[in-house]
Structure 1
Amino acid sequence: KDLRRKDRKKHKKRSKQIKLVRTYSIYVIAILLVGYGLFSIVSGPQIGPVGSTHEHLDVLVYIDGEPLDLNQSRYAMKSGYGHIHGGEGDIMHLHAINIPLSWFMESIDLSITPDSIDVHGMEYSTDENNVFLMFVNGDKITKVDYVLADEDRILIYYGSGSDTDIDRALSLVSNRAEGVNGMPNKGD
């Protein structure tokens, strides 16, 4: 009898421990799920699915006084989310919402940071002679995670810091996206 009582006592104790572990596990999982949800909200918008939008933007990458030729095939049709069509190097085509500028640039193999651009292994960054700047619709931005919007005019600039040179580059950013949006097929 004593042995059975001890076994039952031991079994009850073990049962209580298992229930306690289960309860704590459920709490931990719930806390992790809530934390993940909050992190997702705080970390900003996620790129939407392909087909969630159809937008066009003007873009110019300007390095040392010259526009970078984005008409080259190396930049064309890199992603279904956003891309440049061959022969239309001044127009970004977006097919997903919430695409950050840095993501788009990376997708065409041009990495940017707040103070530099990497063009095929050659890094151009702000130094004593030159500046790296980014503009959206003529306004200077510093965040590479700027979320692109329809008909934005983007300038990625590296060169002299003179106002004259910067204004010249800004004037070279095309304004074709608006016209493409007015086409019957929106310039697929």
Structure 2
Amino acid sequence: MTLKLSRSQITAVLAALLVLLAGCSALGGSDGEAPTETDATTEEATASEATTEAQTETNTTSEDAASELSGRMLVVVEGQEKHLDTEPGAKFSFNETDEHTWEAEEPLTLAEALEAANVTAEPDSLTIDGETYNESDTNTTITYQVAGTEIEDPSEYELEDMNPAHEIVVRVDDHDQEVPGRLVEQSHPHPHGRLNMTVDGEPVDFTQERYVMSSEAFHFHGDEDAARWHGHSLNLTAAYAISTFPGMEVSGDSMTYNGTVYQRNGSETSFTVTVDGEEVDPNTYVLKDGDSVQVTLNETDASPVNQAAS
């Protein structure tokens, strides 16, 4: 059978088909709209912003860590150790769990750091606990040291991040302080240096067992071959240190070595002690970190021993 449609009926059928197709298209789009170019750009910008923030935070943390300086410090005044303190929030402070460890938020001079702890440090004077000590005072010595090197002006030395084996030392010494003073443990800041001794031109071998660990206050370590001495007290004079060795004793202007007495600038014998090339009075000179000590004993040609040998 042949189906005949009029023009108006054909038009109606086409219109219905168009409506049906439009509905299918709408149903397909209801599952999720395809991302537009604007949406993609927004997502990229957000991701980039998050990455930048993370990088900034990392860089800031690294810069903060790099700007923090730390080290160790020992302050001794007339034989007594002083533990310094600063106000909360100060740019220079001491560790809460280690009173010898200092921390600085930014570069400071040694004088500025000490000022934060209410200590006024000048090349020839030191004011601490309300009292001022001057180099011009009788028998008074003021010393600033960093890792064994003397600092003449604390206002010209800028703090550096320091190896824990080294420290800043501030000392005021006089002739009346107790010797050897309080003994300190291995972990406490303490001085190290070198010691050489000659008797009539012959060097003394400090690697011998009797010279190693002969005293708690002053000694050599057996595994270092007498390469350096260790001082484990606050006020260790050169005379006290030398006298800790068996067969040696410094008393006044003389030194006894294996039964022979050597006089300082005597007519028949001589006895000198130098530190870093400069002669010192061993009875009053307090050993400091980095000191190179030389003890020299000699018998002159006029001594009875040399006259008998000639």
Q: Fold conserved (TM > 0.5)?
A: yes
Match of 1:50 among 167, 178, 184: 184
Amino acid at match of 1:43: D
Q: After TM superposition, give the deviation of residue 127 of structure 1 in Å.
A: 3.3
Q: After TM superposition, give the deviation of residue 142 of structure 1 in Å.
A: 2.4
Task: Note closer, same or farther for the CA distance 1:42–1:73 as it changes in structure 2 (3 Å cut).
Answer: closer
Superposed CA offset, 1:148-186 (max 9, x none): 10010111112278xxxxxxxxxxxxxxxxxxxxxxxxx
State whether residues 56 and 91 of structure 1, in contact with CA within 8 Å, keep that contact through their aligned partners in structure 2.
yes
- Using the aligned pairs only, state the percent identity: 26
Q: Does residue 116 of the first structure (1) align with residue 254 of the second (2)?
A: yes
Match of 1:75 among 196, 208, 211: 211
Task: Note closer, same or farther for the CA distance 1:58–1:158 as it changes in structure 2 (3 Å cut).
Answer: same
Superposed CA offset, 1:92-117 (max 9, x none): 11122211111111111321235332
Superposed CA offset, 1:117-155 (max 9, x none): 212222223433542111011111124231110010111
Amino acid at match of 2:254: S
Q: After TM superposition, give the deviation of residue 79 of structure 1 in Å.
A: 2.1
Amino acid at match of 2:295: I
Task: Note closer, same or farther for the CA distance 1:147–1:42 as it changes in structure 2 (3 Å cut).
Answer: closer
State whether residues 212 and 219 of structure 2, in contact with CA within 8 Å, keep that contact through their aligned partners in structure 1.
yes
Query: 2: distance between equivalents of 1:63 and 1:145?
Result: 23
Structure 1 partner of 2:164: none
Structure 2 partner of 1:96: 233
Q: After TM superposition, give the deviation of residue 91 of structure 1 in Å.
A: 1.8
Amino acid at match of 2:216: G
TM-score, normalised with respect to structure 1: 0.56
Query: 1: distance between equivalents of 2:291 and 2:253?
Result: 21
More strand by share: 2
Q: Structure 2 matches for 1:1-188, cutoff 5 A?
A: 43-46=176-179, 47-51=181-185, 52-86=188-222, 88-109=225-246, 110-125=248-263, 126-159=265-298
Task: Note closer, same or farther for the CA distance 1:157–1:71 as it changes in structure 2 (3 Å cut).
Answer: same
Q: Secondary structure in 2 aligned to 1:134? A: strand
Radius of gyration: which is bigger?
2
Q: After TM superposition, give the deviation of residue 48 of structure 1 in Å.
A: 2.1
Amino acid at match of 2:198: Y
Q: After TM superposition, give the deviation of residue 69 of structure 1 in Å.
A: 1.0
State whether residues 115 and 133 of structure 1, in contact with CA within 8 Å, keep that contact through their aligned partners in structure 2.
no
Task: Note closer, same or farther for the CA distance 1:42–1:144 as it changes in structure 2 (3 Å cut).
Answer: closer
Unaligned 5+ runs, structure 1: 1-40, 162-188
Q: Secondary structure in 2 aligned to 1:97? A: coil
Query: 1: distance between equivalents of 2:219 and 2:232?
Result: 8
CA-based RMSD of the aligned residues comes to: 2.4
State whether residues 270 and 297 of structure 2, in contact with CA within 8 Å, keep that contact through their aligned partners in structure 1.
yes
Q: Secondary structure in 1 aligned to 2:266? A: coil
Q: After TM superposition, give the deviation of residue 84 of structure 1 in Å.
A: 1.4
Q: After TM superposition, give the deviation of residue 90 of structure 1 in Å.
A: 4.3
Unaligned 5+ runs, structure 2: 1-173, 301-310
